[in-house]
Every structure is written in structure tokens, then in C-alpha cells.
Amino acid sequence: MKSIDIFCISAGQLDSKKKNSVFSQRHRYLNYGLLKIASFLGKHNYHPIVIHGLFNTPSYTFEICKTIGINDSDIPILLSIPSFFALEWAKQFSNIIKTLMPNKKIIVGGRWVVSNNEKWLKSYLNVDLVVSGLVGIQIVNIVDSFSKNRLVNHKNKSIIPPIDYNYLYERYLFQPSIEVSHGCGMGCSFCEEKDMPLSKLKSASLVVSEMEALVANDGLIEISPYLESSMFVATEKWANELIEERESKGVFCKWRVESRVDKLKTKNIPSLAKAGLSVLDLGLESASLIQLKRMKKTDNPSSYLRAASELIQVAHDNGVWVKVNVLLYAGETNKSIEETVNWLSNIKKYLKGVSVGPVIVYGVDNQSSGFIRELEQYGASAIDSGIIGVANLNLSKEIDFSQSLDISKNISREFMTEKDFFDLKSFSYFARDYNHSDFLIDIEKSTQEEVSFSLK
């Protein structure tokens, strides 16, 4: 076995988006983009490993790297920053490296954080290079440029290999992902991909080939891939091809996907369910007519909500769990929230869960100022979150930030039981060795105010 020579670190978090709870420590959010980069490097004569900081301290993560052999490698570290919530963790980790290994180079990426911040980030993090955008196969050239003493002959450098989970540290604990499309382009004001066109859906045969490589019978929670797509739009033809490919290769794992309520066709749900669709995350965002327009979610809120109701019912009738995402937006009032809650109450029996949170503004300096001005038109006001690049909001004169957090949890508790919460989280996010007995023990450590589901 070749020695690991390039360490790919996914920055962890010192503070979580929804505030730390006993359950935060149980999450294993996969940095799929970083694993993709490691797979590129692995096919071009490098020997990478991907380590997630998660909610561990930077020093703990560095100790893992030492155990694996980081001191024996002169290849740069790749440090991925998946969100602004991970920025301070990344800074602390970089400081550890530069203090204990002063000659070690660090290359930073993370498209949601880096965009137009390259110069500032390089100085703030004390790193050697900051790369913006979707790097893709070009990462090989970038790493090569730091490795001039290596006599490496890269054949077919333009070939994009499949994702290789063998490069993932403690891979058995992660529920895997399969990227099936990227982009969205629907123009919602709060979305990072509002202007990025939707790509073509990956072929059913490729999806099943990747599923086949992921299936494991190891006695842990069943493998259930997340088909990564900001807006999953599948035809009946694609669903039927997936059914045929699964049957041909004997691959029958359940899978999960995210989509919009007005873009996933109701008529295709029965075929998708037969093809393994088991959990559907739907970005409803609101059932208030005025809030939907403010979000630029739709020009016809009434039609949008009718489509949503029909889709959710059909999914439920075909055995698909539906989790609805709700966003408390600028200008929110008790009346607008009541509209959303009443709408959800009418379809409560069809829902597996509801995830709720207030809108957050991301970006430093002038990046976020335009969006904040837009939100201020509806009565919102920005407040300091204490985290660089993250601004919280008083949603209106009627609902401040603290109240928005309480309202979010209250809504979730109304529509999600502890069983619903565990089922949804263990399907995609909890570590695969975290079982229901462990969950019940953690519940004993929690109060109703700390959790976003109802306690019996």
C-alpha cells in the first residue's frame, strides 16, 4: 500500500448553523466536492486521504493527520471551507500547521466562501494559495505546480474519474452521495445557485454503477445514497431506465433527493418510487402568498401551492417520505407564519417532517450589502452574528431574530416526532454506527427547548 502523500481536509465547525445540540456531534456531512477532487488526484499518481473536521477541534483533526503520516509528506494540504461557519475552524487549523510545520504549503478552496475573497482569505488564513470556483480536474495542475521535485507522468489528465470512497477517512461512517446534476437557475433571491443553469441529469446507468460500488453489508445502518442535485428534475423515461438498470445489476438500495415542489412532476412519482426514491426533500419555503413573491419563489403562489399539495400527497401514497423545508423570510409576521402553519396542518398526515429556519445572509463586505438592502425593503434589519461572513436578521418589527429561532423550532415540533427525526437523519446524515438505542440515550440528555421535534 502506497503511503498517503496529500491530505484533503474539510474544515469543521466551532458553531453550527442551527446551534449546537447533542445531536450535532452525530452528524457526518459529506464534503462531496472535496472527495471528487481527491478522486482526480488519486487517478493521477497521488495518494490522497479526505478527513472531515466535523465538530471536532482543529487540534484533534491534526492529531489524526499526524497518526496517518502528515509529517512524512511534502505535498501541500488541501483545505476546503464548505461554509462561512467553518471559516474560524479553518483559521485555527491553518495556524496549527504553520506553527508546527512551517514549510508545509496550504491550498484553500470552497466556492461558497472563496468567491471574490481570494486576497483577503489568503491573508486572514495565512495560507499559500486560495482557489476560486469549481476547480475540477485542474486541481492536478495546481498541486503539480507545488511539487516540482516530483517526476510524475500524468496520462489522460483530462479524464474525469468516478468518485472513489476509498480515499475517505472512516468511510464506513458516512452515508454516500451521488452527484446527478448541478445548478438550478430559478432565481430565488436567497439561493446561491439562482443564476447557475441546471445541468443535464446523469444517465441512469452511471447512477446505478455508482450505487453498485457503494453498497455494503457491514451490519451498520443501511447504505442509502443522497442523489445530489440542487433541483432534481427527472422524466418518467429516466425513472424507468433506472428501474431496469437496478434490476439488471441487482442493486436495490433506497435513495433520497431534493427538488422544488413545482418542478418535479407528480405523474413521475410512482416510477421514481419504484426506482428506489424513498425520501424527498422539498423546498416549499412558505405557504404565505406574499412571502413566496418576496422570495421570488414563484409568480403564481396559488398555483404553486396547489402543485405542492398534490405532489406531497402522491409521494406519500407511493411510500415516499416527504420532508418539507420552510424558510422564515424578511417581512415575516405572525399572520404570514400562521398562513404557512395552517397550510401545513391541512396536509400534516402526508408529511414525514418539517425543517424550519430563518433566512441568513452570507458574504463579507460588499458581497452581502445588496441582498441586505433588498431585505430591508420588507422591514428586516441585519444584526451581527459574531461569525465572519454570516449576518442574522430581525425579520420585521414584529419578529426579531431570537423569536424567529423559537418560532422555527415550534413549527418543526408540531410536524415532526422523535421517530420522524431519527428516521430522516439516519437515512442521510447520522453516522452509520449511531443506532436508535444511542439516539434514545441522547434524548435523555436533552430538553424540549433544545430539540426540533416533539418529545413523547
pLDDT in tens, 92-142: 999 999 999 999 999 999 988 988 889 999 999 999 999 987 777 789 889
Domain count along the chain: 2
Rounded to an integer, what distance in angstroms lies between the CA atom of residue 280 and that of residue 363?
Answer: 29
Residue 344 located in a structural domain: yes
Task: Judge contact between 106 and 65, C-beta under 8 A.
Answer: no
Residues 179 and 141 in one domain: no
Cα Rg of the chain, angstroms: 22
- CA distance between the termini of the chain: 51
Residue 370 located in a structural domain: no
pLDDT in tens, 202-226: 999 999 999 999 988 788 999 999 9
Asked whether the predicted pLDDT for residue 90 surpasses 90, the reply is: yes
CATH of the domain at 225: 3.20.20.70
Residues 130 and 251 in one domain: no
Place of cell 487540534: 59
CATH of the domain at 21: 3.40.50.280
Residues 426 and 283 in one domain: yes
**pLDDT level of residue 1 (50, 70, 90 thresholds):** very low
Residues 341 and 402 in one domain: yes
Q: Which helix or strand (DSSP H or E) is residue 284 part of?
A: strand 277-285
Rounded to an integer, what distance in angstroms lies between the CA atom of residue 67 and that of residue 72?
Answer: 11
Residue 199 located in a structural domain: yes
Residues 202 and 114 in one domain: no
Residue 383 located in a structural domain: no
Residues 199 and 331 in one domain: yes
Residue 156 located in a structural domain: no
Rounded to an integer, what distance in angstroms lies between the CA atom of residue 340 and that of residue 412?
Answer: 12
DSSP 222: P
Residue 232 located in a structural domain: yes
Note the pLDDT of residue 197.
67
Note the pLDDT of residue 136.
76
Residues 34 and 141 in one domain: yes
Rounded to an integer, what distance in angstroms lies between the CA atom of residue 109 and that of residue 135?
Answer: 8
The DSSP secondary structure of 365-434, one letter per residue, reads THHHHHHHHHHHTTT-EEEE-SSTTEEEEE-SSS--HHHHHHHHHHHHHHH-BHHHHHHHHHHHTB-TT-
Residues 401 and 337 in one domain: yes
Residues 6+ positions from 37 with CB-CB distance below 8 Å:
8, 78, 80, 109, 135, 136, 139
pLDDT in tens, 153-196: 555 555 566 789 999 999 999 999 999 976 665 556 555 655 55
Residue 98 located in a structural domain: yes
Residues 279 and 401 in one domain: yes
Rounded to an integer, what distance in angstroms lies between the CA atom of residue 90 and that of residue 117?
Answer: 15
Buried residues in 47-58 as b, exposed as e (16+ CB within 10 A): bbbbbbbbbbeb
pLDDT in tens, 230-272: 778 899 999 999 999 999 999 999 999 999 888 899 999 999 9
Using the 3D structure, point to which of 123, 145, 167 is the last residue of a domain: 145
- Candidates 265, 260, 264; CA nearest to 295 is 260
Residue 157 located in a structural domain: no
- Average pLDDT value for the chain: 90
Residues 135 and 214 in one domain: no
Domain range for residue 288? 175-359+395-450
Residues 120 and 189 in one domain: no
Give the torsion through C-alpha atoms of 13, 17, 18, 23, to 10 deg: -30
Determine what percent of the chain is predicted with pLDDT higher than 70. Answer: 91
Using the 3D structure, point to which of 127, 145, 163 is the last residue of a domain: 145
Rounded to an integer, what distance in angstroms lies between the CA atom of residue 433 and that of residue 208?
Answer: 25
Residues 130 and 235 in one domain: no
Characterise 136 by phi-psi region: left (phi > 0), alpha (psi -120 to 50), beta (else): left
Using the 3D structure, point to which of 145, 162, 191 is the last residue of a domain: 145
